[in-house]
Amino acid sequence: MKTLHSILAFAMLSLNATAENPPPRNTRPAAPVSPELLAGGRVTFRCLAPNAKEIKVSGQFGKELKMEKAEAGLWSVTSGSITPGIYEYHFEVDGMNVLDPFNPAIKPQRNPGSSILHLPSTPPAPWDLTDIPHGTLSQHDYFSKTLGKWRHLMVYTPPGYRSDGPELPVLYLSHGFSDNDQSWSTHGKAHWIMDSLLAAGKAKPMLIVMPDAHALPPGASWSDDYADENTRAFCKELAEDVIPLIEKSYQVNPKPTHRAFAGLSMGGRHALTVAITMSDRFSQVGAFSSAVPAENLIATALENVPAINDQLKLLWIACGKDDFLFETNQSFHALLKQKGVKHEYLITEGNHSWPVWRRYLVDFVPKLFP
């Protein structure tokens, strides 16, 4: 019995010692961070590729950066100071474009090829996440009777939205050729921009509907034939499927005076076509860096300019001086002037890129639904 007591006592002492000084656990090394935001706007990019011979970082933030290889095949480079903003970038691994494998933020596209670098501003920009009331993003799956297939779209509802609340106006927002229905929210930050404008008292509460602008399957690259056919199909589906879905599902005002449309690039083509051919359904339209519609799409409607000017309360067109579509926008502006279509035409700095289009949305939304 004495021996048993001794064994038990020793066991208890051992348990107490283990509880006070637990043995070291097996720990895994922390995963590399990329992009790592540093002081002064500098950023470190990293890539694990032991067999690579050369890796570069290419993006909208500035000049191409060449990475250096360290032990265990981990490559890295630290940039100089980068202006705050949201940029696309990718790695070039021995000449092949590669997403940043350590960065889960990927730009939504038909063929994803860009990671996202977000450098917040001080004070915050409208597209930065801040401690203000935020709305809600929802995805809708629906069967398009017009197209005979399943489709989906994104919907933003503002803070405080209620299904039994006041009827709200709606902005329909279209993306460009390489993007999809989630590009305006995930990369364009349309919902954060709207939250910021509402918090600052610069905009009216509204829904933002972000549909899939590819009504028809696109080819590998842009073609005018596809653009014409897709625009016709998109506008038909918009009228017959998308608008009815939104007006059935949400507490919105169905009058054209409470319905707006905007889009960028290919979506700008949609916007300008909507403005000219569907002015009885939309009262306010914004076209950002537009791939302008061919005259055959709008020729008939342009025969009745008085009706367009009476119904369309705002047609806002903007394009950057360094945009590859600048000259075609200049020509379209001249056409509208010649025909007598009332519109605002804004020439800005910038090229064909999301940093420009976010600013356009910030400028356009406060003009809506006065």
Give the whole-angstrom CA distance, residue 269 versus residue 263: 8
CATH number for 136-367: choose from 3.40.50.300, 3.40.50.720, 3.40.1160.10, 3.40.50.1820: 3.40.50.1820
Query: Phi, psi (5° rounding) for residue 41?
Result: 80, 10
Q: Are 57 and 87 in contact (CB under 8 A)?
A: no
What residue spans define the domains of the chain? 36-119, 136-367
CATH number 2.60.40.10 given to 36-119: yes
Residue 45, Cβ density class (10 Å: 0-12 exposed, 13-18 middle, ≥19 buried)? buried
| pLDDT score of 23 | 52
In three-state form (DSSP H/G/I as H, E/B as E, the rest C), the secondary structure along 224-254 is HHHHHHHHHHHHHHHHHHHHHHHHHHCCECC
pTM of the model: 0.90
Do the domains spanning 36-119 and 136-367 agree at the CATH topology level? no
Residue with tokens 């949609």: 270
**Model pLDDT for residues 116-157, shown as the tens digit of each residue:** 999 999 999 999 999 999 999 999 999 999 999 999 999 999
Confidence of residue 230 (pLDDT cuts 50, 70, 90): very high
Summary mean pLDDT of the chain: 92
Helix (H, G, I), strand (E, B) or coil at 36: strand
pLDDT > 70 fraction of the chain, expressed in percent and rounded: 92
**Model pLDDT for residues 247-270, shown as the tens digit of each residue:** 999 999 999 999 999 999 999 999
Q: Are 132 and 195 in contact (CB under 8 A)?
A: yes
